[in-house]
Chains A and B, each alone.
Chain A
Amino acid sequence: MTDGIKRRDFLKVLGASSAGATMTGCGPSEVEKLLPYVVQPEEITPGVATWYATTCGCAHGCGLWVRTREGRAVKIEGNPDHPISQGGVCLQGHASLQHLYNPDRFAGPMIREGDRFRQGSWDEAERLLAAKIGQNTAAGRDVMFIGGHMGPAMSRLVDEFLEGVNGSRVEYHAVSDAPLREATRLAYGVNELPRYDIEASDFLLSFSNDFVDDGSVADDRGLSRMHSVDEGEHSKGTFAYLGPRLSTTGLNADEWLPIKSGSEAVVALAMAAHIAGSDHSGPYANLLQAYSIGDAAAASGIDEDSLRDLADRFSAAERPLAMGPGVGGHHRNSTAANLAALVLNHVAGAVGTTVHVGGGSVAASSPFSDMLKAISEMASGQFGVAFVHGANPAYSLPEGSGFSEAFDQIPFKVSFASAMDETAAMADLIMPDRHFLESWGDAMPRKGVHTVQQPVMQPVPHFDSKQAGDVLLAVASHLGTGIGASTFYEYLRAPHQAMHADDPTGFEQVWREHLRTGMFGMGMMGGGGDTQVPELRVPDRALTFDGPSFDGPGDLTLIVHPSPRFRGGEYSNSPWMLELPDPVSKITWHSWLEMNPATAEARGVREGDIVTVVSDHGAVDVPVWVYPGIREDAVALAMGSGHTEMGRWATGAGVNAMDLLPSVAEPLSGGFVTVGTMVSVTPTGERRRMATIEGSSDQRDRPIAPAVAFLDLGHSEDGHADDGAHHGELMELQGYGGVQPVPAQDGASTAYPLPGADHGLYANAHEGPRWGMAIDLDKCTGCSACVVACHSENNVPWVGEDQVVMGRDMTWMRIERYYEHVDASHASHLDVRFLPMLCQHCGNAPCEPVCPVYATYHTPEGVNAQIYNRCVGTRYCANNCPYKVRVYNWYRYTDENVPEPMNWQWNPDVTVRTNGIMEKCSFCMQRIKDAENRAALEEGRDVRDGEIVPACQQSCAAEAIVFGNLRDPDSKVSQILESERTYKVLDELINTQPAVNYLKKVTFHEVSGGH
Chain B
Amino acid sequence: MAIGTTERGALTHPDVHRLDDVNRDVLKMLTVPGKGWWMLFGMCIAGVGLFLSAWFWQIYKGIGVSGLMSPVGWGVYITTFVFWVGIAHSGTLISAILFLFRAPWRQSIYRAAEAMTVFAVMTAGLFPLIHVGRVWHAYWLIPYPNSRFLWPNFKSPLVWDVFAVTTYFTVSAVFFYLGTIPDVAAARDRATGLRRKLYSVISLGWQGTDRQWHHFGKAYIFLAALATPLVLSVHSVVSWDFAMSIVPGWHATIFAPYFVAGAIFSGVAMVITLVVPLRKIFGLEAYLTTKHFDAMAKLCLFTSLIVLYAYLSEFFLAWYSGEDPERHAFWNRLFGTYWWATWTMLVCNGFVPIMLWFKRIRHSIPALFVISIFINIGMWFERYVIVVTSLHNEYEPFAWGIYRPSVIEMSIMVGSFFWFGFWFLLFTRLLPPIAIQELKEVLPPPMRKKRSPEVAEAHQ
A and B are partners in one complex rather than unrelated chains: yes
Interface residues of A (CB under 8 A from B): 693-702, 704, 761, 803, 806-809, 814, 816-818, 835, 837, 846, 849-854, 870-876, 878-880, 882-884, 886-892, 915-918, 986, 989-990
* Contact indicator per residue, chain B 319-332, by CB within 8 Å of chain A (1) or not (0): 00001110010000
* Pair A882/B132 contact, Cβ less than 8 Å: no
**Min CB gap B243→A, angstroms:** 12
Chain B residue numbers with a CB within 8 Å of A989 are: 323, 325, 395
Chain B residue numbers with a CB within 8 Å of A884 are: 70-71, 394-396, 399
* Contact indicator per residue, chain B 146-181, by CB within 8 Å of chain A (1) or not (0): 000011110111110010000000000000000000
| B5 within 8 A of partner (CB) | no
* Contact indicator per residue, chain B 117-155, by CB within 8 Å of chain A (1) or not (0): 000000000001001111001101100000000111101
Partner of A872, one of B133, B155, B394, B399: B133
A891 vs B323: C-alpha distance when bound (angstroms): 37
| B192 within 8 A of partner (CB) | no
Chain B residue numbers with a CB within 8 Å of A803 are: 64
The 26 listed contacts between A and B (C-beta, < 8 Å) are A693-B398, A697-B397, A700-B397, A807-B69, A807-B72, A816-B399, A846-B245, A850-B156, A850-B157, A850-B158, A852-B152, A852-B156, A875-B133, A876-B73, A876-B241, A878-B73, A880-B245, A884-B396, A887-B70, A888-B70, A888-B73, A888-B133, A889-B62, A890-B62, A915-B62, A917-B134
* Pair B394/A701 contact, Cβ less than 8 Å: no
Chain A residue numbers with a CB within 8 Å of B402 are: 807
* Pair A698/B397 contact, Cβ less than 8 Å: yes
A693 vs B398: C-alpha distance when bound (angstroms): 8
| B421 within 8 A of partner (CB) | no
* Pair B324/A702 contact, Cβ less than 8 Å: yes
A375 vs B240: C-alpha distance when bound (angstroms): 72
Chain B residue numbers with a CB within 8 Å of A700 are: 324, 328, 397
* Pair A889/B246 contact, Cβ less than 8 Å: no
Partner of B74, one of A702, A875, A917: A875
Number of contacting residues on B, CB 8 A? 53
A697 vs B399: C-alpha distance when bound (angstroms): 9
* Pair A696/B323 contact, Cβ less than 8 Å: no
* Pair B246/A846 contact, Cβ less than 8 Å: yes
* Pair B67/A806 contact, Cβ less than 8 Å: yes
Chain B residue numbers with a CB within 8 Å of A693 are: 398
Chain B residue numbers with a CB within 8 Å of A882 are: 246, 394-396
**Min CB gap A42→B, angstroms:** 39
**Min CB gap A211→B, angstroms:** 26
Partner of B152, one of A697, A699, A809, A853: A853
| B102 within 8 A of partner (CB) | no
| B211 within 8 A of partner (CB) | no
* Contact indicator per residue, chain B 389-408, by CB within 8 Å of chain A (1) or not (0): 00101111111111110000
Partner of A891, one of B62, B67, B155, B394: B62
Q: How many A-B contacts are there with CB distance less than 8 Å?
A: 178
* Pair B61/A891 contact, Cβ less than 8 Å: yes
| B30 within 8 A of partner (CB) | no
Chain B residue numbers with a CB within 8 Å of A701 are: 324
Interface residues of B (CB under 8 A from A): 61-64, 67-74, 128, 131-134, 137-138, 140-141, 150-153, 155-159, 162, 241, 244-247, 323-325, 328, 391, 393-404
A852 vs B323: C-alpha distance when bound (angstroms): 30
Chain A residue numbers with a CB within 8 Å of B134 are: 871-873, 915-917
Chain B residue numbers with a CB within 8 Å of A846 are: 245-246
Chain B residue numbers with a CB within 8 Å of A852 are: 140-141, 152-153, 156, 158-159, 162
Chain A residue numbers with a CB within 8 Å of B394 are: 882, 884
**Min CB gap A892→B, angstroms:** 6
**Min CB gap A994→B, angstroms:** 13
A873 vs B158: C-alpha distance when bound (angstroms): 12
A368 vs B98: C-alpha distance when bound (angstroms): 89
5 tightest A-B CB contacts, nearest first = A873-B133, A916-B133, A695-B400, A890-B64, A875-B73
**Min CB gap A856→B, angstroms:** 9
A702 vs B394: C-alpha distance when bound (angstroms): 11
Residue of B nearest to A877 (CB): B73
A886 vs B133: C-alpha distance when bound (angstroms): 14
Name the residue among B68, B133, B140, B141 with the largest chain A CB count within 10 angstroms: B133
Partner of A890, one of B68, B141, B403: B68
Partner of B397, one of A695, A915, A917, A918: A695
**Min CB gap A705→B, angstroms:** 9
Partner of B247, one of A837, A873, A879, A883: A879
* Pair B156/A695 contact, Cβ less than 8 Å: no
Beyond A695-B399, A700-B397, A818-B397, 19 extra complex contacts between A and B, CB < 8 Å: A695-B71, A695-B401, A696-B397, A816-B398, A837-B399, A849-B156, A850-B155, A852-B152, A853-B140, A872-B138, A874-B131, A876-B245, A878-B71, A880-B246, A890-B63, A890-B68, A890-B69, A915-B63, A986-B396
A326 vs B267: C-alpha distance when bound (angstroms): 69
Chain A residue numbers with a CB within 8 Å of B247 are: 879-880
**Min CB gap A706→B, angstroms:** 14
* Pair A872/B64 contact, Cβ less than 8 Å: no
Chain B residue numbers with a CB within 8 Å of A874 are: 128, 131-133, 158
A704 vs B394: C-alpha distance when bound (angstroms): 13
* Pair B398/A818 contact, Cβ less than 8 Å: yes
* Pair B62/A892 contact, Cβ less than 8 Å: yes
* Pair A702/B395 contact, Cβ less than 8 Å: yes
**Min CB gap B273→A, angstroms:** 31
* Pair B398/A837 contact, Cβ less than 8 Å: yes
**Min CB gap B375→A, angstroms:** 27
**Min CB gap B71→A, angstroms:** 5
Chain A residue numbers with a CB within 8 Å of B399 are: 695, 814, 816, 837, 883-884
Residue of A nearest to B400 (CB): A695
Chain A residue numbers with a CB within 8 Å of B69 are: 806-808, 890
Chain A residue numbers with a CB within 8 Å of B133 are: 871-875, 888-889, 915-918
Chain A residue numbers with a CB within 8 Å of B396 are: 695, 704, 816, 837, 882-884, 986
Residue of A nearest to B69 (CB): A807
Name the residue among B67, B73, B74 with the largest chain A CB count within 10 angstroms: B73
Chain A residue numbers with a CB within 8 Å of B140 are: 852-853, 870, 872
A329 vs B456: C-alpha distance when bound (angstroms): 99
A761 vs B94: C-alpha distance when bound (angstroms): 42
Residue of B nearest to A803 (CB): B64
* Pair A697/B398 contact, Cβ less than 8 Å: yes
A818 vs B393: C-alpha distance when bound (angstroms): 16
**Min CB gap A954→B, angstroms:** 25
A846 vs B140: C-alpha distance when bound (angstroms): 21
**Min CB gap B234→A, angstroms:** 17
A702 vs B396: C-alpha distance when bound (angstroms): 9
Beyond A888-B73, A916-B62, is A695–B398 a contact (Cβ under 8 Å)? yes
Beyond A700-B324, A888-B70, A891-B62, is A850–B245 a contact (Cβ under 8 Å)? yes
**Min CB gap A571→B, angstroms:** 26
A989 vs B248: C-alpha distance when bound (angstroms): 12
Chain B residue numbers with a CB within 8 Å of A854 are: 150-153
**Min CB gap A964→B, angstroms:** 25
Chain B residue numbers with a CB within 8 Å of A816 are: 396, 398-399
Chain B residue numbers with a CB within 8 Å of A696 are: 397-398, 400
A693 vs B69: C-alpha distance when bound (angstroms): 12
* Pair A853/B153 contact, Cβ less than 8 Å: yes
Chain A residue numbers with a CB within 8 Å of B153 are: 849, 851-854
